[in-house]
Amino acid sequence: MKQAGIASWSGKRVWVIGASSGIGEACSTSLLAAGAKVALSARRIERLTKLASTAQINQTLVLPVDVTHREQLESAYQHILENWGALDLLLFVSGLYVPLRADQFEMDIAEQTIDANLLGPMRAVAIVLPEMLQNHAGHIAIVGSVAGYSGLPKALAYGPSKAGIINFCETLYYDLLPQGISVHMISPGFVATEATAQNDFEMPALITAEQAAKEIIVGIQNGEFDIHFPKRFSRFLKFLRILPYPLYFWFVRRFVQI
Ligand SMILES: NC(=O)c1ccc[n+]([C@@H]2O[C@H](COP(=O)([O-])OP(=O)(O)OC[C@H]3O[C@@H](n4cnc5c(N)ncnc54)[C@H](OP(=O)(O)O)[C@@H]3O)[C@@H](O)[C@H]2O)c1
């Protein structure tokens, strides 16, 4: 059994959470250009409004939310239902990255990271699932990261939050495939955005947010579960994680010098 893709974006109702910058903004721009209706969510309303001003009238909804507040997500979703009747795709892109090593491990940052990156997507999924299950239709796409594949330096809170996303998507896929709902797990490598601008090392296989958006949109169109890119980097990390631990840690210490 293969899950459904999206053959045409024209008129499709998409909720992009994390639309105010980076990968989410690039996805929203591409989806709007392809004729989808896009509900734009994140905290920075001025960015969302600016993006909406580039679209056609009635093509967007501007719904500011903080993903750590369940009631804000709930009211945004109600707004979507009232205006559009249903949702075809939840595209959860929003995320928080604060570099963290063991010698400056801060519990506040860990809690914020798990709250935004793991509990945030869980909240959004819990909200959209009842209608999707009722209709036996819909798509759930969540941006995780290749940093969730296995432990990497400077990712003491970010890595576990993204590892959780992988497990969450895998488990969702089991349950939702027989229900006619597609799940898309998205694992980017390095993408040039505000989040990575803070990195003080040379990022291997760095791509633009527009390239990332293209990979994501084509992957969803094709009904792919495991959307990972750029392949030259993500395949290498997939290979590393199947190595025995001594070899894995040797590789990481030898080649990831950050
Ligand atoms: N860039 C990379 O190399 C890379 C690699 C792998 C995975 N990723 C993942 O890709 C996703 C997008 O990241 P990006 O690189 O495009 O970074 P970005 O430009 O910093 O975008 C992050 C987005 O998340 C939103 N956001 C953060 N916290 C939020 C909150 N509490 N509530 C609502 N929205 C929130 C931000 O909007 P507001 O600030 O306006 O709320 C913004 O729209 C993240 O999940 C990230 O982990 C990125």
pLDDT at 257: 67
CB atoms within 10 A of CB 146: 24
CATH fit for domain 13-255, picks 3.90.420.10, 3.30.360.10, 3.40.50.720, 3.30.450.20: 3.40.50.720
CB-based contact 159:176 (threshold 8 Å): no
Q: What separation in Å is there between the alpha carbon of 178 and the centre of ligand 1?
A: 31
Structural domain spans, the chain:
13-255
Q: What separation in Å is there between the alpha carbon of 246 and the centre of ligand 1?
A: 33
18 lines ligand 1 (CB under 6 A): yes
138 lines ligand 1 (CB under 6 A): no
Note the pTM of the prediction, 2 decimals. 0.98
Q: What is the pLDDT along the chain (258 residues), one digit of tens a residue?
A: 789 999 999 999 999 999 999 999 999 999 999 999 999 999 999 999 999 999 999 999 999 999 999 999 999 999 999 999 999 999 999 999 999 999 999 999 999 999 999 999 999 999 999 999 999 999 999 999 999 999 999 999 999 999 999 999 999 999 999 999 999 999 999 999 999 988 888 899 999 999 999 999 999 999 999 999 999 999 999 999 999 999 999 999 988 766
44 lines ligand 1 (CB under 6 A): yes
194 lines ligand 1 (CB under 6 A): yes
Q: What residue spans of the chain are helical by DSSP H?
A: 22-33, 45-52, 70-84, 107-114, 120-135, 158-176, 209-221, 231-240, 245-255
